[in-house]
C-alpha cells in the first residue's frame, strides 16, 4: 500500500490479514434504530494525573470516534479540570488521588500530608469510590497517563481485582504494566486482560518473567510474545513494533498493515481505546444484539477484537503520516479514526445480515 494513498488497498494485505479482518468485521455492530444508548460500548480509561493529561484523552477519544457509545475518564482532580477542556464529549470523573508532592497543591488531592485525610490517602478508600462505577461499564483501559505514583498504583491494583470478579475485559498499557512487572499474579490466568507493551515495556515484562532474548528462533519472531502470554496463563499480549504480534500463548496473529514512520508519543493511546471499543462490541455480539448467520466462537473473538484495534491504529498512523510527515502528533491519529475504519471495513450496515 502507498503511504501517500487514501486507502489501505486489499491488494497490499496478506491473504491471512484479509481473512482475519473478514472475521473481525463480524464484531462490528450495524446502526439499527432499535439500539439504545450504551449498548454499543461503555468504556472507561483509568489514568490521568497532574503531569499526564493527554494520554487518557487520546485513548477515550479513540474509543468514542471508533463508535463506542459512552467514553469515561477516571483521573485525579487536577487532570480532570484540564481534560474537561479538551472535549465536552467525554465523561470525566475526578476520583483518583496521588500522594502529596507539594504543600501548594489544592486541598482534596495533593495537599500537605499533615492535613490530608484518609479519604484521599488510603487506596482502599479511593478504590471504594471507583469500584461502584464498574457495573455501568463494559471495558476498562488502565494506564494511560497513570504515572508511577505509589498511591495511584495501589488504587489501580484494587480496581483490577474488583474488575476481575466481574469478569470485565481490561486493556493495560503504560505504567499499568509496571504493576504487572512487580506482581504478575495480578493478571495471571485472567484471559479477559490484554497487555499492550511497547519495545521497552515488553523487555521489562520479559525480564520480570525470566524470558530471555535467546528464546527467539530464526524465522519465528513470535516466540517471545507467545512465551510471555503462556507465562501469564493465557493473557493476551500485543507486542507493538514494525509489525504487531498478538498472542494468548495458543493462538498468535501478526498484524502486517502498514503504519506511519513517525514514532511520536501517544499513538499507543489510540490503540488502547480502539481495542476497548472492539471488546465492547464483542460483548454486544455475544449477547446477540443483532443477527448474524455464522456465529463466531467466544474463545476466538478476544483475539479478533485486539487485531481489529491494532489494524485501526496502524491505518490511522498511515493516514496521519501521509498528511503530516515528520510533524505527526498523537492528535492527528484521533482525527483519522473514522476514515481508517471505512478504509478497512467499509460500510458495515450494507451487508450485515449476509454474514
Statement: residue 9 has pLDDT above 50 = no
Find out whether 263 is annotated in a ligand binding site: yes
Find out whether 278 is annotated in a ligand binding site: no
Beta carbons within 8 Å of 3's beta carbon, 6+ residues apart: 258, 260, 261, 318, 321, 322
Find out whether 293 is annotated in a ligand binding site: no
60 backbone dihedrals φ, ψ, rounded to 5°: -65, -35
Find out whether 22 is annotated in a ligand binding site: no
Residue 93 has a CB neighbour count (10 Å cut-off) of 18
pLDDT at 117 (0 to 100): 81
Q: Which three cell numbers stand for residue 253?
A: 496473529
Find out whether 165 is annotated in a ligand binding site: no
3-state SS assignment for residue 26: helix
More confident residue, 13 or 208: 208
Find out whether 244 is annotated in a ligand binding site: yes
Find out whether 37 is annotated in a ligand binding site: no
User: Residue 77: in which H helix or E strand, if any?
Assistant: helix 77-86
User: Residue 61: in which H helix or E strand, if any?
Assistant: helix 54-66
Find out whether 262 is annotated in a ligand binding site: yes
Statement: residue 287 has pLDDT above 90 = yes
Find out whether 241 is annotated in a ligand binding site: yes
Find out whether 200 is annotated in a ligand binding site: yes
Find out whether 203 is annotated in a ligand binding site: yes
Statement: residue 350 has pLDDT above 80 = no
Find out whether 204 is annotated in a ligand binding site: yes
Residue 6: band (very low, low, confident or very high) from pLDDT cuts 50, 70, 90: very low
* Rounded CA Rg of the chain: 20
For the question of whether the overall pTM of this predicted structure is more than 0.75, the answer is: yes
Find out whether 314 is annotated in a ligand binding site: no
pLDDT tens profile 150-188? 999 999 999 999 999 999 999 999 999 999 999 999 999
Find out whether 341 is annotated in a ligand binding site: no
pLDDT tens profile 306-346? 999 999 999 999 999 999 999 999 999 999 999 999 999 99
Residue 13: band (very low, low, confident or very high) from pLDDT cuts 50, 70, 90: confident
pLDDT tens profile 220-268? 889 999 999 999 999 999 999 999 999 999 999 999 999 999 989 999 9
Q: What is the average pLDDT value for the chain, to the nearest integer?
A: 91
**Measured torsion, CA atoms of residues 297, 303, 306, 310, in degrees rounded to the nearest 10:** -120
3-state SS assignment for residue 168: coil
Find out whether 124 is annotated in a ligand binding site: no
Statement: residue 109 has pLDDT above 70 = no
Lowest mean pLDDT among 107-111, 152-156, 275-279: 107-111
pLDDT-above-90 percentage for the chain: 83
Amino acid at each position: 500500500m502507498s503511504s501517500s494513498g487514501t486507502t489501505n488497498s486489499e491488494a497490499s494485505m496478506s491473504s491471512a490479514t484479509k481473512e482475519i479482518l473478514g472475521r473481525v468485521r463480524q464484531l462490528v455492530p450495524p446502526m439499527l434504530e432499535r439500539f439504545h444508548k450504551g449498548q454499543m460500548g461503555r468504556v472507561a480509561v483509568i489514568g490521568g494525573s497532574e503531569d499526564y493529561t493527554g494520554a487518557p484523552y487520546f485513548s477515550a477519544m479513540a474509543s468514542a470516534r471508533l463508535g463506542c457509545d459512552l467514553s469515561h475518564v477516571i483521573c485525579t482532580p487536577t487532570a480532570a479540570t484540564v481534560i474537561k477542556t479538551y472535549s465536552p464529549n467525554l465523561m470525566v470523573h475526578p476520583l483518583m488521588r496521588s500522594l502529596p508532592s507539594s504543600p501548594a497543591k489544592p486541598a482534596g488531592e495533593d495537599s500537605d500530608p499533615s492535613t490530608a485525610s484518609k479519604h484521599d490517602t488510603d487506596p482502599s478508600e479511593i478504590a471504594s469510590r471507583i469500584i461502584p462505577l464498574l457495573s455501568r461499564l463494559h471495558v476498562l483501559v488502565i494506564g494511560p497517563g497513570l504515572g508511577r505514583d505509589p498511591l495511584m498504583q495501589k488504587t489501580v491494583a484494587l480496581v483490577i481485582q474488583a474488575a476481575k470478579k466481574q469478569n470485565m475485559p481490561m486493556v493495560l498499557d503504560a505504567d499499568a504494566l509496571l504493576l504487572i512487572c512487580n506482581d504478575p499474579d495480578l493478571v495471571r490466568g485472567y484471559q479477559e486482560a490484554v497487555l499492550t507493551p511497547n519495545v521497552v515495556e515488553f523487555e521489562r515484562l520479559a525480564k520480570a518473567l525470566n524470558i530471555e532474548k535467546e528464546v527467539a528462533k530464526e524465522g519465528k519472531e513470535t516466540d517471545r510474545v507467545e512465551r510471555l502470554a503462556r507465562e501469564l496463563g493465557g493473557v493476551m499480549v500485543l507486542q507493538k513494533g514494525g509489525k504487531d504480534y498478538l498472542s494468548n500463548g495458543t493462538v498468535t496473529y501478526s498484524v502486517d498493515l502498514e503504519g506511519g514512520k513517525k514514532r511520536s508519543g501517544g499513538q499507543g493511546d489510540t490503540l488502547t481505546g480502539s481495542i476497548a471499543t472492539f471488546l465492547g462490541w464483542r460483548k454486544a455480539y455475544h449477547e446477540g444484539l443483532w443477527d448474524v448467520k455464522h456465529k463466531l466462537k467466544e474463545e476466538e473473538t478476544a483475539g479478533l477484537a485486539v487485531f481489529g484495534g491494532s489494524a485501526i491504529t496502524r491505518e490511522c498512523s498511515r493516514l496521519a503520516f501521509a498528511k503530516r510527515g515528520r510533524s505527526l502528533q498523537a492528535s492527528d491519529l484521533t482525527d483519522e479514526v473514522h476514515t481508517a475504519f471505512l478504509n478497512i471495513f467499509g460500510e458495515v450496515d450494507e451487508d450485515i445480515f449476509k454474514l
